[in-house]
């Protein structure tokens, strides 16, 4: 089932006749061939090219220790129209190969000893690997993308196009250029500083721009997250044991009505792995579009690795990086930090405060830390609302530092130029 002997013959004939085709043997692997004789011929071609020799009937016959009839090698090309169709033949053969492997995979996941969730995870992983194996991707020439890149730079410079999604915080956007597609953005802070609140605030700001956001919440329930969003966007003290006045109820009601038509998709399953998130987001992007993924938070994401805690975190971080690239959207990930800053005179976080592993420093495209000095010095009332964002790494731009204003009672961060006082 799922074999194409004629296409196998055509591919092999091209590689025997045309030296350029034989150099592209890496587009295939031996499992793409079903005929045992064709497998041997393909391996022989591989070996000849690796020895930097020219492939022809005689060298191939000798390479195969004369175990293949030379007349068969000669007849391979009899029905071959042209080597110009080599890439088309390869794609046809890879397609048949993928179907064959998927058929085998279907049998392989019929394991009664595994749960449905385990089988689904296995299938997702295997299918991804099969797509990688059967890819015939090639390099893109510079002239194929140079004009598009130049025009994009021009549009960004003129203000016609945004470099990335605007967070709603002007100075932050000036430094990092917004949240850019394919980037893995890490937002780190110590507990109770407001990192989740800032992520929710950014989501709220982008909802006003009609963006579609997927929010994976590992710490809060979806109800708690929506309450936080309502509170911050309404600027009312919901959740406190006090009676709200008419103005506050009106604000809350107006915000709720406003949010009804916004595209915020929330998942609060604490057992989700990156592969689950990627699958859900890929479907969402295909059906409705997707502008941003938020994960709260990194250390809670489940890993399919059986290694140490450090190795599991490294695997999760690497998977998130790959997810951002595959989905081609920014992925904002909240992360906790170690207690190391508490032993220093200067409490501002640094990259070495990232918990468990230094791998996060390499994986993330942007690393920014949220810091509130008042958390450590409650005696200085003048800095009660001060909040700093330190951009410690920016792979595609500059680093720096900016300030926001923090309203704890509303779990709301505002630009320094903005302010809110309750009437």
- Catalytic residues, by residue number, are 219
Q: Measured between alpha carbons, how far is 82 from 183 in angstroms, rounded to an integer?
A: 43
Q: Which residues contact 13 (CB under 8 A, 6 or more apart)?
A: 76, 77, 80
H helix or E strand, kind and range, residue 20: helix 19-23
DSSP string, 115-179: -HHHHHHHHHHHHHHHHHHT----PPPGGGTHHHHHHHHHHHHHTSS-SSB--S-HHHHHHH-SB
Q: Measured between alpha carbons, how far is 215 from 277 in angstroms, rounded to an integer?
A: 10
Phi, psi of 134 (to 5 degrees): -95, 10
**For tokens 């004629």, what's the residue?**
6
Q: Which tokens in the block code for residue 70?
A: 């030379």
- Distance of CA 270 to CAs 216, 276, 301, 323, Å? 9, 11, 7, 19
Q: Measured between alpha carbons, how far is 312 from 398 in angstroms, rounded to an integer?
A: 30
Q: Measured between alpha carbons, how far is 187 from 295 in angstroms, rounded to an integer?
A: 10
3-state secondary structure of 234: helix
- Burial of residue 347 (CB within 10 Å: 0-12, 13-18, 19+) is middle
Cα angle 131-116-215, degrees, rounded to a multiple of 5: 70
């Amino acid at each position: 089932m799922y074999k194409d002997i004629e296409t196998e013959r055509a591919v092999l004939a091209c590689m025997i006749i045309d030296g350029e085709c034989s150099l592209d043997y890496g587009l295939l692997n031996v499992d793409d061939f079903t005929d045992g004789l064709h497998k041997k011929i393909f391996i022989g071609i591989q070996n000849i090219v690796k020895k930097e020799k020219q492939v022809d009937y005689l060298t191939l016959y000798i390479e195969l220790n004369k175990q293949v009839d030379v007349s068969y090698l000669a007849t391979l090309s009899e029905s071959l129209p042209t080597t110009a169709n080599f890439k088309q033949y390869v794609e046809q053969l890879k397609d048949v190969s993928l179907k064959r492997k998927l058929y085998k995979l279907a049998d392989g996941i019929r394991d009664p000893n595994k749960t449905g969730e385990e089988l689904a995870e296995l299938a997702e992983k295997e299918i991804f690997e099969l797509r990688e194996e059967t890819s015939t991707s090639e390099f893109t020439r510079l002239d194929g993308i140079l004009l598009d890149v130049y025009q994009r730079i021009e549009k960004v410079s003129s203000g016609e196009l945004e470099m990335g999604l605007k967070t709603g915080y002007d100075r932050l956007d000036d430094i990092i250029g917004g949240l850019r597609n394919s980037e893995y953005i890490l937002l780190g802070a110590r507990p109770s500083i407001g990192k989740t609140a800032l992520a929710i605030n950014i989501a709220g700001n982008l909802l006003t721009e009609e963006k579609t956001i997927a929010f994976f919440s590992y710490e809060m329930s979806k109800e708690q997250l929506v309450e936080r969003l309502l509170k911050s966007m309404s600027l009312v003290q919901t959740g406190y044991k006090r009676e709200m006045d008419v103005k506050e109820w009106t604000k809350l009601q107006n915000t709720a009505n406003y949010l009804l038509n916004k595209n915020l998709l929330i998942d609060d399953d604490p057992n989700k792995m990156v592969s689950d998130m990627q699958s859900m987001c890929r479907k969402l992007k295909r059906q409705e579009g997707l502008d941003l993924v938020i994960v709260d938070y990194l250390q809670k994401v489940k890993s399919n690795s059986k290694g140490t805690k450090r190795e599991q975190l490294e695997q999760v971080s690497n998977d998130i990086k790959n997810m951002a690239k595959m989905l081609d959207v920014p992925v904002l990930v909240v992360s906790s930090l170690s207690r190391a800053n508490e032993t220093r005179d200067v409490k501002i976080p640094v990259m070495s405060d990232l918990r468990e592993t230094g791998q996060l420093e390499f994986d993330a495209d942007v690393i920014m830390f949220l810091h509130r000095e008042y958390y450590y010095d409650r005696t200085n009332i003048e800095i009660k609302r001060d909040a700093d964002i330190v951009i410690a790494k920016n792979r595609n731009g500059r680093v720096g530092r900016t300030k926001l204003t923090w309203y704890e009672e509303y779990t709301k961060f505002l630009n320094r130029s903005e302010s809110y006082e309750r009437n």
